[in-house]
Amino acid sequence: MTKKKVQTAITPAKLNRIIPKGKLLAIGGKEDKGEGQPDEKPENINFISEQVLKRFVAELRGDNPMVLVIPTASEIPEESSQDYVTLFKELGVTNVQVADIRNRPDANLPEYLEMIKNAAGIMFTGGDQLRLTAIFGGSDALQAMKERYIYSNIIIAGTSAGAAAMSTPMIYEGESQGGYIKGDVRMTTGLEFLKNVAIDTHFLTRGRIVRMTQAICTNPECIGIGLEEDTAILVTDGGKMEVVGSGLVTVVDGMGITESNIYEIENGQPFTAKGLRVHLLGNEDTYLIPAYERLQLQ
């Protein structure tokens, strides 16, 4: 098999930063769960049943690895978590537990911290990404997950809202079919597993490329990653990205922007930008998320 070319932006040779030992799997939503057959998607020759979730299971390490499902983003956490418990068991994972964290006090409970400590893989379900950041921000649970991600060979996955919350900045609201009006797109600080990266999901299905572009125009140092449904990125070494799944990943690189009016116009007016770079990546394509050497103030 011919190895596909790595797409990359400018990366300095020397970086004074920690390289995480863990992996991230950000999923664009509606990942195939084996409920249908491949012939239900005849237009997509890349379709492989349960491909994304099978990859998550394949990346688990250890004997009898434990998968921890976190349904915090969902308004129906029992149903959301049970779907994944059943699915992972069907995929051969016998040890599946649920951290039913519903508020900030829950995110500091010792029993959930112990689950995080022992997990080989963590799965954030879909729902509302703002619930994730509002509940986990500054919590002991999030600190424990970040420590595991930095220092151990864990895989942390999220689908839909669970994927969008992995990055900083985090898009949490906007006009799905619009985004070309200044002020349409709302952002906040995400869970910060990936910094200077903005992740958006259901990307092509819901026409979100313009709202992603607005997010990048407000700070061109950030890289925008748009995930289509049933499509994911597997991130290793903190920035080496591989596409997994049946759809496309869109990368929006704003470092080369030559002109934009985003800082001149009033809210409610359409913004413009010139000089953007856009990459479209499919299954097995790779991309190196740029890490720029900057002075970090504590």
Q: Which residue has the tokens 């009006």?
A: 181
Each residue of 49-68: pLDDT tens digit?
A: 799 999 999 999 999 999 99
Q: Which residue has the tokens 């990404």?
A: 129
Q: Which of 165, 152, 223 is nearest to 193 (CA)?
A: 165
Mark whether 160 is an active-site residue.
yes
List the chain residues with pLDDT less than 50: 1, 8-15, 37-46, 176
Q: Which of 81, 160, 167, 246 is catalytic?
A: 160
**The pLDDT of residue 121:** 98
How many other C-beta atoms lie within 10 A of the C-beta of residue 268? 9
**The pLDDT of residue 16:** 59
Q: In angstroms, rounded to a whole number, what is the distance separating the alpha carbons of residues 195 and 109? A: 27
Q: In angstroms, rounded to a whole number, what is the distance separating the alpha carbons of residues 40 and 52? A: 17
**The pLDDT of residue 13:** 43
Q: Which of 50, 228, 229, 242 is catalytic?
A: 229
**The pLDDT of residue 38:** 42
Fold of 18-34+47-288: Rossmann fold (3.40.50)
**The pLDDT of residue 261:** 96
Please state, rounded to an integer, the average pLDDT across all residues of the chain: 89
Each residue of 256-265: pLDDT tens digit?
A: 999 999 999 9
Q: Look up the pTM and report it.
A: 0.89
User: With DSSP H G I counted as helix, E B as strand and the rest as coil, what are the percentages for the chain, rounded to 5?
Assistant: 25, 25, 50
Question: How many CA atoms are closer than 13 Å to the CA of 92, on its beta-carbon side?
Answer: 10
Mark whether 202 is an active-site residue.
yes
Q: Which of 202, 228, 242, 246 is catalytic?
A: 202
Q: In angstroms, rounded to a whole number, what is the distance separating the alpha carbons of residues 177 and 288? A: 29
- Give the whole-number percent of the chain exceeding pLDDT 90: 79
**The pLDDT of residue 176:** 47
Mark whether 242 is an active-site residue.
no
Please check whether residue 18 is in contact with residue 297, taking contact to mean a CB–CB distance below 8 angstroms: no
